A = this chain, B = another copy of it.
Amino acid sequence: MKIIVLKFGGSSVGTIERIKKIAGIIVGYKKKGYKPIVVSSAMSGNTNDLVKKSKAISYNFISSEYDVLVSAGEQISCALISGRLNHLGHKSQSWMSWQIPILTKGMYSASRIININKKKILDYIKLGGVPIIAGFQGINTNNRITTLGRGGSDASAIMCAKFFKAQKCIIYTDVDGVYTTDPNTLKKAKKIKIISYEEMLEMASLGAKVMQPTSIQDARLNRIDIEVKSSFVKKDGTKITKRKNVISNKIIRGISFTKNDAKVTLVGVKDKPGIAASIFEPLSKNAINVDMVVQNISADGKETDLTFTIKSEDLTKTQLLIKKNNKISFRNLIFDKNVSKVSIVGVGMIATPGVTYRMFKALAKKNINILVISTSEIKISVLINKKNISRAISALHKEFKLDK
């Protein structure tokens, strides 16, 4: 059977007109000989409204009932999609997780799918039916409803693709794919036709909001090929697949950047073993995520400067925590909110020497000063002054031939 998983996000089912449109997309695949398995999110806005209600009821809403509450929206969207397909003359039925069942484990609101019972769904498909499966939800061994956390419907789709051995898994959303960089910042940004899981993970965690990193990781672990595309316009999207499928002459796949970073520098820190741990311990305990870290070699063996980056919204708290930290001493504390991290991402850099040099040279040519550098296997990030973002991206986009 040519099974295809079609996942529709909240904006793709956000109105009655949108639901009518995606019903047409589903019928299109059926006519091409595919057996579609549809996974749907709740209508956009619906879940947010339920979250708001939970907060009005209790500032500490019990998590088991929270999951019952916030999973109600998928029952509505799935019934409407199925109703529309029946209206068009196609056999279709909604499936809540308890009807399949989709078994999860882990905490409420952050559960993970461990099994999908295939029999009923496969029997239904064999009879010519189109199952509409509620995304984002499952049940646990206590027969209680669980949810999968942010981006949970993507995880549902990928697990359906895995368990039902789908030939394709298409994630329909409100963007038409992944771009070499943000098209709003650089007009020359091009849609990426194919990208590896690893590159996508680096792009996603750095700011590309197409899919949640956990779902990409699920897809990577299970070797599920994904296509991300728009349900609003009929265009090819972006394929996310394993590294060896990505044949390309591009060294760099894309450029991502942040806009809400802040740089913290402790000047003249007493250099002794464990000093970095002493600085970061209270930050970690307060859930402040430290990103880039640079420690200069101490010239005299006594004092050093330590620089790191955090999210801007954590700046006040960080300042406070450092000042009241009596395990460390330093001469001066410098903050800078006007910084941005720009990263080039690409599996091609593994096999290509000199990528770092080309990046630095391209920025130097534009007189853009690099404040901090950090690298991984398939990514090089630099911290620059925020005012230089556009010029930096433009220069790097050109340098690595992403314009073409």
Among the listed stretches A53-61, A257-265, A318-326, which one makes contact with chain B, having 4 or more residues with CB under 8 Å of it?
Answer: A53-61
Q: Is A385's CB within 8 Å of the partner chain B?
A: no
Q: Are A69 and B57 in contact (CB-based, < 8 A)?
A: no
Tell me the nearest residue of chain B to A62, going by C-beta. B86
Q: Are B87 and A61 in contact (CB-based, < 8 A)?
A: yes
- Chain A stretch 51-76: residues in CB contact (< 8 A) with chain B: 53-54, 56-58, 60-62, 64-66, 68-69, 71-73, 75-76
A-side interface mostly: helix
Tell me the nearest residue of chain B to A134, going by C-beta. B68
CB within 8 A of A86: which of B50, B65, B82? B65
Q: Are A72 and B79 in contact (CB-based, < 8 A)?
A: yes
Q: Are A93 and B64 in contact (CB-based, < 8 A)?
A: yes
Q: How far is the CA of A54 from the CA of B16 in the complex (A)?
A: 9
Q: Is A84's CB within 8 Å of the partner chain B?
A: yes
Q: Are A72 and B76 in contact (CB-based, < 8 A)?
A: yes
Residues of B within 8 A of A84 (CB): 57-58
A378 to chain B, nearest CB (A): 43
Tell me the nearest residue of chain B to A59, going by C-beta. B87
Q: Are A76 and B58 in contact (CB-based, < 8 A)?
A: no
Q: Are A86 and B69 in contact (CB-based, < 8 A)?
A: no
Q: Are A82 and B94 in contact (CB-based, < 8 A)?
A: no
Residues of B within 8 A of A280 (CB): none
CB within 8 A of A87: which of B60, B72, B144? B60
Q: Are B79 and A75 in contact (CB-based, < 8 A)?
A: no
Q: Is A83's CB within 8 Å of the partner chain B?
A: yes
Q: How far is the CA of A233 from the CA of B236 in the complex (A)?
A: 61
Q: Are A83 and B56 in contact (CB-based, < 8 A)?
A: no
Given contacts A16-B57, A53-B76, 17 further A-B contacts (CB under 8 A): A16-B56, A50-B76, A54-B80, A57-B80, A61-B83, A61-B86, A62-B87, A64-B93, A65-B83, A65-B93, A68-B96, A69-B75, A69-B80, A69-B83, A72-B72, A72-B76, A98-B99
Tell me the nearest residue of chain B to A88, going by C-beta. B58
A107 to chain B, nearest CB (A): 16
Residues of B within 8 A of A57 (CB): 16, 19-20, 80, 83-84, 87
Q: How far is the CA of A244 from the CA of B61 in the complex (A)?
A: 47
Tell me the nearest residue of chain B to A54, going by C-beta. B83
Q: Is A143's CB within 8 Å of the partner chain B?
A: yes
Tell me the nearest residue of chain B to A87, going by C-beta. B58
Residues of B within 8 A of A83 (CB): 54, 57-58, 61-62, 65-66, 69
Contact A68:B94 (CB < 8 A) given known A58-B83, A84-B58, A143-B99: yes
Tell me the nearest residue of chain B to A61, going by C-beta. B83
Please, what's the 1-or-0 string for A91-105, where 1 marks a CB less than 8 Å from any CB in chain B? 001101011000000
Q: Is A224's CB within 8 Å of the partner chain B?
A: no
Q: Is A113's CB within 8 Å of the partner chain B?
A: no
Q: Is A382's CB within 8 Å of the partner chain B?
A: no
Q: Are B68 and A79 in contact (CB-based, < 8 A)?
A: yes
Q: Is A240's CB within 8 Å of the partner chain B?
A: no
Q: Is A37's CB within 8 Å of the partner chain B?
A: no
Q: Is A389's CB within 8 Å of the partner chain B?
A: no
Tell me the nearest residue of chain B to A76, going by C-beta. B72
- Chain A stretch 1-49: residues in CB contact (< 8 A) with chain B: 16, 19-20
Residues of B within 8 A of A19 (CB): 57
Q: How far is the CA of A276 from the CA of B326 in the complex (A)?
A: 100
A47 to chain B, nearest CB (A): 11
Residues of B within 8 A of A144 (CB): 99
Q: How far is the CA of A60 from the CA of B88 in the complex (A)?
A: 11
Q: Is A189's CB within 8 Å of the partner chain B?
A: no
Q: Is A78's CB within 8 Å of the partner chain B?
A: yes
Q: How far is the CA of A210 from the CA of B98 in the complex (A)?
A: 35
- Chain A stretch 317-339: residues in CB contact (< 8 A) with chain B: none
